[in-house]
Amino acid sequence: MFISRRNRGAVARQLPSHPLPAPGSIKIAVYFADTKVNLYQLRQWYAPLAELASTWPVAIIARAPSTALALWAESPVPAHYLRNVADLERFVQTQDIRIVFYVNQSAKNFQMFRYGRMWHVFINHGESDKMYMTTNQFKAYDYSFVAGDAAIDRLRHKLWDFDLARRAIPIGRPQADHFAGELPYAPDDRTVVLYAPTWEGDRAAAAYGSIATHGVALATSLLASPEHRLIYRPHPRSGVVDPEYKAANEAIIAAIAKANAADPTAQHVFDTSNELGWQLVAPDVAITDISAMVYDRLATGKPLLITRPASPDAEVDESGYLGACEWLLASEVSDIVAIATRVQFDEGAQARLQFWVERHFGDTTPGEATKRFRAAIAKLMKVWEKHDKLHIGDARGSEGDPFDDDDDDATTE
C-alpha cells in the first residue's frame, strides 16, 4: 500500500513532463497493464518498437504507476499513464489507433478489447515450448504474430476451431535483429563460451538449474583453458532456495575473479547486466539450462548446448527441439572443451541446429524477421484504411482479410 501510494505520488509529480500526444497522432499502441515486475516482457520489444515508430507513431499505454515510472526512464518510445478506464476511454477517442499490441495475457487486456475499429494483435514476449504458448486466450485477439512453424503446430495440436491459416502470422523474432551491446572484453582469438544457467526452481518438476550439478566442473575446465573465455550469466534468483546451489554459484564467481587476477588477458566475464543482447550473439558456443534462454539463443542460429537435468523428477518435453538438441550431461562436463569444439564445427550438429532454428524462427538472416514484422503491420494498416474509407463496421470480414490480399505493395513500408 505504501509503495503504491509513493509511486502514485511520483507519477503525479512527473506527469506534466509527459503530456498526452497530439490528437490523432498515434497509430500503434502497445497495451501493458502489469506492474514493473513483469516489465521484462515489454523491454525486449523496445528496439523493434523504436524502429517501427519511424514509420508509424507508437505509444505505450501503462496502467500501473510503477510501470509508468520505469517506462518514462527507459522506453525509447513515448509512454502514457492511463490509470482509470475513463483515462483509457479519452485516449482512445482522441487518437487514431489502428493496431494494439499485447505482450502478455493479463486479465486487464480485456478492458482494451472492448474497442472496435482497430486490430488487436498478440505479439507475446518470447518463444518456447511452455504451456503458456498454447493458451486458449489466443482466440481473443484478431491476430497473433508468432515465431514460426513450431508455434503454429503447437496451436494446431492444442486449440479447437482456431483459424490458424488466417489468424496466426509467422514473423520470426524481430528482437534478434537488435541484439547488440558493448562487449565487456576486447575480442581476440579465444573461443567465447556463454554459460547461462537458470535457478534451482521451487519444485521437483522444474528442477532445471545446473549450477550445482554441472556448473563448477564446467567453469573449472573452461577457466583452465588458455584458448577459452567464459561468460557466466546466472539467473538472478540462483541459490534462493537451495544453499548448495548458492554455494556453487558463489564458487564459480570466485573462480572467475581468481582466473582474471592470474591472467588479466583472459577477460572472463561475470555478467549481471539488465540488458540482454550481446550475450546471445557474441559467444561462439552457448550453454543454457531448460529455460527461455534456449530459444533466445536459438534465434541467433549459433551453436548451443543444453544441460540435461540431473534430477529424474524434472519434466522434460522432448516432443520438439529438446528431442533433438545437443545435451550436456553432468558426467560430461570435464570434457566441455572438446564438446564445445564438436558442436561448433561438426557438420551433423550444425545441420540439426539449422533445422530447428528454421522450424522455430524461419529465416534468421539479419533483418529478415524485421521485414516480416513490418510487412504484417503494413498489411493490417492497408486493410484498416480500406474499411475506414468504406465505413464498414466489421473490419474483420473475409473481404478485407489482409493476409488473403494479393497486393503486396504495402510490404515495402
Q: pLDDT tens-digit profile of 238-263?
A: 999 999 999 999 999 999 999 999 99
DSSP code of 277? S
- 337 and 200 share a domain? yes
Q: What does R_g of the chain's alpha carbons equal in angstroms?
A: 23
What integer is the mean pLDDT of 5-10?
82
Classify residue 184: in a domain, yes or no.
no
Last residue of a domain, one of 346, 361, 376: 361
CA angle, 302 then 191 then 339, to 5°: 70
Classify residue 11: in a domain, yes or no.
yes
Rounded Cα gap, residues 266 and 260, in angstroms:
6
Task: Show the cell assigned to 319.
Answer: 516432443
CATH code for the domain in which residue 228 is found: 3.40.50.2000
pLDDT at 398: 47
- 357 and 388 share a domain? no
Classify residue 183: in a domain, yes or no.
no
Rounded Cα gap, residues 268 and 256, in angstroms:
6
N-terminal to C-terminal alpha carbon distance within the chain? 47
- 22 and 126 share a domain? yes
Q: pLDDT tens-digit profile of 123-166?
A: 999 887 766 788 899 999 999 999 999 999 999 999 999 999 99
Contact in structure between 60 and 75 (CB atoms under 8 Å): yes
Closest among 361, 302, 299, 295 to 149, alpha carbons compared: 361
Question: Considering the chain, what percentage of its residues have pLDDT values greater than 90?
Answer: 78
Indicate the pLDDT class of residue 8, thresholds 50, 70 and 90: confident
Classify residue 315: in a domain, yes or no.
yes
- 300 and 352 share a domain? yes
Q: pLDDT tens-digit profile of 322-371?
A: 999 999 999 999 999 999 999 999 999 999 999 999 999 999 999 999 99
How many structural domains compose the chain? 2
- 227 and 205 share a domain? yes
Rounded Cα gap, residues 34 and 64, in angstroms:
6
Say whether pLDDT at 49 is over 80: yes
Classify residue 335: in a domain, yes or no.
yes
- 61 and 141 share a domain? yes
pLDDT at 171: 97
- 62 and 132 share a domain? yes
- 246 and 148 share a domain? no
What integer is the mean pLDDT of 367-386?
95
Q: What single letter denotes the amino acid at residue 230?
A: L
CA angle, 57 then 61 then 66, to 5°: 135
Say whether pLDDT at 392 is over 60: no
Task: Show the cell assigned to 283.
Answer: 559467444
Question: Considering the chain, what percentage of its residues have pLDDT values greater than 70?
Answer: 93
DSSP code of 273? -
Closest among 60, 84, 85 to 74, alpha carbons compared: 60
Rounded Cα gap, residues 403 and 400, in angstroms:
9
pLDDT at 389: 79
Which domain does 163 fall in, by range?
Answer: 2-178+367-412
Q: pLDDT tens-digit profile of 163-218?
A: 999 999 999 999 999 998 899 999 999 999 999 999 998 889 889 999 999 999 99
pLDDT at 161: 94
- The mean of the pLDDT values for the chain is 91
- 380 and 282 share a domain? no
- 119 and 256 share a domain? no
Which residues, listed in sequence order, are joined to residue 269 by a DSSP beta bridge? 231
pLDDT at 395: 45
- 139 and 231 share a domain? no
- 339 and 308 share a domain? yes
Classify residue 396: in a domain, yes or no.
yes
